[in-house]
């Protein structure tokens, strides 16, 4: 299995689900397919609100695919890979529909970026977060603006510097990454369904205008995130990073 991205629309609600057998990690193909699915839903008049979710039961998203990181041979390939994260975040930013995140489990690296880029994140108590990039010799450069926008510079710095420490879901809620946390998956899903049912009966035009206001000041991200992708694409080639990724994979 190489993973998938699936979309389903029912009564104005489009659910976009991604899955990868390696803890919902994000290879380039899934990043591309996610960006396409979100763009399509944003342009589809049958879609009023979007749910972003992942498959499985334990991990929401483990971030970048280590297998693909190991295959990067030069800066051009590095830029191409990390641009995938930039495209997904910018597509979420520009999508005129509200994106509700279903965060059912742990978020690592790029997974934290996805959770930060949704417009409203509803999580379970199992949704711990960690920005692990520094541990492998890079940094959360591409997802950083989305995370910082949600939780502020101080909390973003804490996550980025202590790259091995998990923060629990309550920490993420108090910092503003999650809007709600629930003790069970059932309660989380009930809350998501309640919200999207309400939003599906709301004015699409009003929500589109609200989203523009919420994302005001990010108009330069088309260039910013690609510039950040260049940094990651260069650092991923270091001997330190190659050794660190090998150690992680051999655990």
With a CB cutoff of 8 Å and minimum separation 6, the contacts of 62 are 22, 23, 24, 25, 26, 106, 108, 109, 111
**Is there a domain that residue 98 lies in?**
yes
Residue 249 has a pLDDT of 75
**Is there a domain that residue 132 lies in?**
yes
Residue 28's CB is within 10 A of a number of other CB atoms, namely: 18
How many domains are there within the chain?
A: 1
Report which of 199, 92, 179 is spatially closest to residue 127, judged by C-alpha positions. 179
pTM of the model: 0.96
pLDDT classification of 250: cutoffs 50, 70, 90: confident
Residue 226 has a pLDDT of 98
Residue 177 has a pLDDT of 98
**Is there a domain that residue 58 lies in?**
yes
Residue 2 has a pLDDT of 83
**Alpha carbon distance 147, 173 (integer Å):** 13
Report which of 121, 24, 141, 125 is spatially closest to residue 78, judged by C-alpha positions. 141
Q: What is the CATH number of the domain that holds 130?
A: 3.90.226.10
**Alpha carbon distance 48, 44 (integer Å):** 8
Tell me which residue range forms the domain holding 93. 4-185
Question: Helix, strand, or coil here: 244?
Answer: helix
Angle, helices 144-161/221-235, rounded to nearest 10 degrees? 40
**Alpha carbon distance 39, 44 (integer Å):** 9
**Is there a domain that residue 15 lies in?**
yes
Residue 210 has a pLDDT of 98
Phi-psi region of 238 (alpha: psi -120 to 50; beta: other; left: phi over 0): beta
Residue 1 has a pLDDT of 58
* Cα→Cα distances 204→132, 193, 235, Å: 37, 18, 42
**Alpha carbon distance 250, 223 (integer Å):** 36
pLDDT tens profile 35-53: 999 999 999 999 999 999 9
**Is there a domain that residue 137 lies in?**
yes
**Is there a domain that residue 219 lies in?**
no
**Is there a domain that residue 71 lies in?**
yes
**Is there a domain that residue 128 lies in?**
yes
pLDDT tens profile 107-164: 999 999 999 999 999 999 999 999 999 999 999 999 999 999 999 999 999 999 999 9
What is the mean predicted confidence (pLDDT) over 208-234?
Answer: 98
């Amino acid at each position: 299995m190489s993973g998938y991205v699936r979309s389903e629309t029912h009564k104005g609600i489009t659910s976009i689900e991604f899955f990868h057998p390696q803890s919902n990690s994000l290879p380039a193909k899934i990043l591309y397919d996610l960006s396409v699915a979100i763009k399509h839903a944003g342009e589809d008049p049958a879609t009023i609100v979007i749910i972003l979710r992942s498959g499985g039961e334990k991990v929401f998203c483990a971030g970048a695919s280590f297998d693909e990181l190991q295959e990067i041979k030069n800066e051009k390939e590095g830029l191409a890979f990390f641009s995938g994260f930039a495209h997904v975040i910018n597509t979420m930013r520009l999508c005129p529909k509200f994106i509700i995140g279903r965060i059912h489990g742990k978020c690592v690296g790029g997974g934290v970026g996805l959770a930060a880029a949704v417009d409203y994140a509803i999580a379970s108590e199992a949704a711990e977060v960690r920005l692990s990039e520094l541990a492998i010799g890079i940094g959360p450069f591409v997802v950083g603006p989305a995370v910082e926008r949600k939780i502020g510079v101080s909390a973003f710095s804490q996550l980025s510097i202590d790259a091995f420490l998990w923060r629990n879901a309550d920490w993420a809620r108090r910092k503003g990454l999650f809007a709600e946390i629930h003790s069970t998956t059932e309660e989380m899903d009930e809350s998501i369904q309640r919200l999207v049912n309400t939003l599906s009966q709301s004015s699409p035009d009003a929500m589109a205008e609200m989203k523009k206001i919420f994302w005001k000041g990010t108009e330069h991200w088309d260039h910013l995130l690609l510039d950040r992708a260049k940094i990651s694409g260069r650092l991923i080639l270091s001997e330190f990073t190659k050794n660190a990724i090998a150690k992680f994979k051999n655990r």
